Chain A
C-alpha cells in the first residue's frame, strides 16, 4: 500500500485579478486563494489510488502565511495529514528555491513511495518543480502523466510527449507530474469539509529545514508583473439584422486585404 505525498501550491485565483488600465499594474486586492488547478488533479489522483487499494496520502506545501487558509481546503479533498511551510520569502521564490524547500521537507517527513505534483501552477506555471525535486532527491521522474496505476511498489504510467504517448514502468519511489486531463477533481462533500478540521496539520518553520542561504536565493529574479496589453480594434457589429452585420464584416476583412 503506497505512502503518497502530494505537493500543492496555494495561488491567487487568476479570474479575480484585474489589470488597471492606466498603468497595466495588477490589482489582486479582491483575489481569493485557491489550490492550484493541476495540483487538484494530483490530489485527486492520489486519493483515487488509495481509495482503490489502501495506503496513505499526505500533503505538503510551501508558500507565504496565506497558506494557512488552505489547510482545511486541502484536507477536505482527500489527504490525511498536511505539512506546510509558510514564509514571506516564498513570494519571490523561483522553482529552484521551491524545489530546495520541498526536498528538504521531504527528507524530514519521508520517505514516500510516490510524490505527486501538478504539471505546473496556475499562477507561475514554471513546470519545473517535479523534475527539480526528483533531481534533488535522486529519484526518477515521470512527467506529464495522463494515467497511472500502482501495484506491488511499481508505478505504471502513461505520459504525454509531443508526438506520442508512452507507457512506462518505474519502481518506486518516484516523482510524478500530473496533467489536468488525468481526472476530474472531486467537489468535497460537506462531511469531508467538516472532517478536515479533525485531520492533523503541522507548520514547519523554514529555518528548521537546515537549508543554506544560497538554497533560498532565487536564481531567476522576477520583475513586477504587468497586465498583457490587448491592442485590438474592437469593432463590433451588433445590429438585429444578421445579414447586415455579416456584410459589414466582409467589407472590413476585404479592407484588411484578407
Chain B
C-alpha cells in the first residue's frame, strides 16, 4: 500500500470537506451548547454513503476501504468531532457484523446499516472496571427460552438513537472478562431500556447513555460469531475504533493548530504579530508535526485493516502515541491564543473538551502499551 492517498481517496476527503462545511459548520456551536443529537446531519451522512463507507457493495455499502474511512473521520472531526463519534460508533457495529456475522445476519442487518436506515451502536463498557466482573455486569445465561441478558452496559454511544446494537455480554461468570460473547440486539426488544443521557465533558451531540437489560431474551441466531470469538471480536473492534479515534484526535488537533496559526498572524503584541515570536513558532510547528506523524501512523494501521492484515499492534501504537501527545495539541494551541483562546466564543475550548473524549477516555482501560510490549517480548 502507498502512504499517499489515491485520487479516489482524495476526492472522498474533498466530499467530506464539502459535507462538513455544508452540514456541520452551521450546527457545531449549538450542538456543543445544547448537546442535541444532529439528526439532520446524520441523515445527510447516510445520503452521502458515509454510514456504509467500508461495507461491501453486495450489502449496499460504498466499499471505499478503511483508509478512506479514517480520512473522512479526520475531515469531519476538524469541524465536528461529535458527529464523527456518531459515525465511528455506528461503524463499530457495522464492522463487527460484517466481520463475524453469518450470511443471514449480514443480510438482515448490513443493508440497513449501510443505507443509514438504522444507526448502529457498539456496547462494551460497564460500570465495573472490565466487562463481566462488576456488580451490574451484563450476564447472558442459557435458559430453556433462550439467552437471558441481565445487567447494564455503560457509556454507550449512540444509545437511544441506534436501532441495532452489538452488545458484549459475559456468558461464563467463572471466566469473567475472558468469557465474553457478542449479541445483536434490536432497539425496542422487551426488557431493554435506555438510561438517562449522560452529560459528557466533550463530544456533545453524540448521545451517551446506559443500556439496561432486564431479562432480555435472545436466541442463538442473535449471537454474533461463535461463543469463543467474543474476546477477539472485542479486541479487534476496539482496535479498529482506536484507529478511527486517532483520526478524530488528529482532525481536532489540525483544526486547533490551523486556528492558532491564523490567530498568531493577526494578534499583534509589542508592535508585531505574535507569529514572529520563536516560542509561538515552536508551539505551532511541534503540534503540526505531531499531527502529521500521527496521521501517517494511523493511515498505515487503516491500510492494514483494509487489506485484511493483522493491525492490533499498529493500532495500539497510534493509540499510545496520541494518549501521550494528543491532549498537548490543545494545551499548546490554547497557549498560543492566550486569553482569547480560553474564551468560549473561540472554538478552542470545544476542541479541548472533544480531544479529551478521543484521547483520554479509553486508553487507560485498554492499556495499549501492553499490546505493543507483548508483541515485542513474544
| A contact residues vs B (CB 8 Å cutoff) | 69, 72-73, 76, 187-191, 193-194, 196-197
B62–A191 touching, CB < 8 Å: yes
Chain B contacts for A197, CB-based, 8 A: 8
| B contact residues vs A (CB 8 Å cutoff) | 7-8, 11-12, 14-15, 18-19, 22, 47-50, 53, 62-64, 68
B15–A188 touching, CB < 8 Å: yes
> Could you tell me the distance in whole angstroms from the C-beta of A236 to the nearest C-beta in chain B?
9
Given A72-B8, A187-B22, A187-B48, are A193 and B63 neighbors across the interface (CB < 8 Å)? Answer: no
Kindly state the separation between the CA atoms of A190 and B75 in the bound complex, as whole angstroms.
Answer: 14
30 A-B Cβ contacts within 8 A?
A: A69-B7, A72-B7, A72-B8, A72-B11, A76-B11, A76-B15, A187-B22, A187-B48, A188-B11, A188-B48, A189-B15, A189-B48, A189-B49, A189-B62, A190-B12, A190-B48, A190-B50, A190-B53, A190-B62, A191-B49, A191-B62, A193-B11, A193-B12, A193-B15, A193-B64, A194-B8, A194-B62, A194-B64, A196-B11, A197-B8
B18–A187 touching, CB < 8 Å: yes
Chain A contacts for B12, CB-based, 8 A: 190, 193
- Pick the contact of B64 from A73, A187, A190 — CB < 8 Å? A190
Kindly state the separation between the CA atoms of A188 and B62 in the bound complex, as whole angstroms.
Answer: 12
Kindly state the separation between the CA atoms of A193 and B22 in the bound complex, as whole angstroms.
Answer: 18
Chain A contacts for B62, CB-based, 8 A: 189-191, 194
> Could you tell me the distance in whole angstroms from the C-beta of A197 to the nearest C-beta in chain B?
7
Kindly state the separation between the CA atoms of A76 and B7 in the bound complex, as whole angstroms.
Answer: 12
Chain A contacts for B15, CB-based, 8 A: 76, 187-190, 193
- Pick the contact of A194 from B18, B19, B50, B63 — CB < 8 Å? B63
Kindly state the separation between the CA atoms of A175 and B68 in the bound complex, as whole angstroms.
Answer: 39
Chain B contacts for A189, CB-based, 8 A: 15, 47-49, 62
Central interface residue in B11, B62, B64, by most chain A CB within 10 Å: B11
Kindly state the separation between the CA atoms of A30 and B150 in the bound complex, as whole angstroms.
Answer: 57
Describe B's contact surface by its main secondary structure.
helix
Kindly state the separation between the CA atoms of A193 and B53 in the bound complex, as whole angstroms.
Answer: 12
Kindly state the separation between the CA atoms of A23 and B14 in the bound complex, as whole angstroms.
Answer: 33
> Could you tell me the distance in whole angstroms from the C-beta of B355 to the nearest C-beta in chain A?
26
Kindly state the separation between the CA atoms of A194 and B15 in the bound complex, as whole angstroms.
Answer: 12
Describe A's contact surface by its main secondary structure.
helix
Kindly state the separation between the CA atoms of A187 and B68 in the bound complex, as whole angstroms.
Answer: 16
> Could you tell me the distance in whole angstroms from the C-beta of B70 to the nearest C-beta in chain A?
14
Chain B contacts for A76, CB-based, 8 A: 11, 15
Kindly state the separation between the CA atoms of A95 and B3 in the bound complex, as whole angstroms.
Answer: 41
Kindly state the separation between the CA atoms of A197 and B12 in the bound complex, as whole angstroms.
Answer: 13
Kindly state the separation between the CA atoms of A190 and B11 in the bound complex, as whole angstroms.
Answer: 9
Residue of A nearest to B49 (CB): A190
Chain B contacts for A187, CB-based, 8 A: 15, 18-19, 22, 48
Central interface residue in A69, A189, A190, A191, by most chain B CB within 10 Å: A190
Pick the 8 closest A-B CB pairs, nearest first: A190-B49, A190-B62, A189-B48, A187-B18, A189-B49, A193-B11, A191-B49, A191-B62
Kindly state the separation between the CA atoms of A124 and B63 in the bound complex, as whole angstroms.
Answer: 39
A193–B8 touching, CB < 8 Å: yes
Kindly state the separation between the CA atoms of A187 and B62 in the bound complex, as whole angstroms.
Answer: 15
B49–A73 touching, CB < 8 Å: no
Kindly state the separation between the CA atoms of A69 and B10 in the bound complex, as whole angstroms.
Answer: 11
Kindly state the separation between the CA atoms of A189 and B116 in the bound complex, as whole angstroms.
Answer: 13
Chain A contacts for B7, CB-based, 8 A: 69, 72
Kindly state the separation between the CA atoms of A72 and B8 in the bound complex, as whole angstroms.
Answer: 8
Chain A contacts for B68, CB-based, 8 A: 190
Residue of B nearest to A197 (CB): B8
Chain B contacts for A72, CB-based, 8 A: 7-8, 11
Kindly state the separation between the CA atoms of A31 and B238 in the bound complex, as whole angstroms.
Answer: 38
Kindly state the separation between the CA atoms of A193 and B62 in the bound complex, as whole angstroms.
Answer: 10
Chain A contacts for B18, CB-based, 8 A: 187
Residue of B nearest to A240 (CB): B339
Chain B contacts for A73, CB-based, 8 A: 11, 14
Central interface residue in B15, B18, B53, B63, by most chain A CB within 10 Å: B15
Chain B contacts for A191, CB-based, 8 A: 49, 62
Residue of A nearest to B14 (CB): A73
Kindly state the separation between the CA atoms of A191 and B62 in the bound complex, as whole angstroms.
Answer: 5
Chain A contacts for B63, CB-based, 8 A: 194
> Could you tell me the distance in whole angstroms from the C-beta of B288 to the nearest C-beta in chain A?
14
Kindly state the separation between the CA atoms of A179 and B8 in the bound complex, as whole angstroms.
Answer: 29
> Could you tell me the distance in whole angstroms from the C-beta of B230 to the nearest C-beta in chain A?
32
Kindly state the separation between the CA atoms of A76 and B68 in the bound complex, as whole angstroms.
Answer: 16
Kindly state the separation between the CA atoms of A190 and B63 in the bound complex, as whole angstroms.
Answer: 9
Chain B contacts for A193, CB-based, 8 A: 8, 11-12, 15, 64
Chain B contacts for A190, CB-based, 8 A: 12, 15, 48-50, 53, 62, 64, 68
Kindly state the separation between the CA atoms of A193 and B63 in the bound complex, as whole angstroms.
Answer: 11
Beyond A187-B18, A187-B48, A190-B48, 7 additional contacts (C-beta under 8 Å) are A187-B22, A189-B15, A189-B47, A189-B48, A190-B15, A193-B12, A194-B64
Residue of A nearest to B57 (CB): A191
Chain A contacts for B47, CB-based, 8 A: 189
Chain A contacts for B8, CB-based, 8 A: 72, 193-194, 197
> Could you tell me the distance in whole angstroms from the C-beta of A33 to the nearest C-beta in chain B?
11
Central interface residue in A73, A187, A189, by most chain B CB within 10 Å: A187
> Could you tell me the distance in whole angstroms from the C-beta of A235 to the nearest C-beta in chain B?
11
Kindly state the separation between the CA atoms of A62 and B47 in the bound complex, as whole angstroms.
Answer: 32
> Could you tell me the distance in whole angstroms from the C-beta of B132 to the nearest C-beta in chain A?
37
Kindly state the separation between the CA atoms of A119 and B14 in the bound complex, as whole angstroms.
Answer: 24
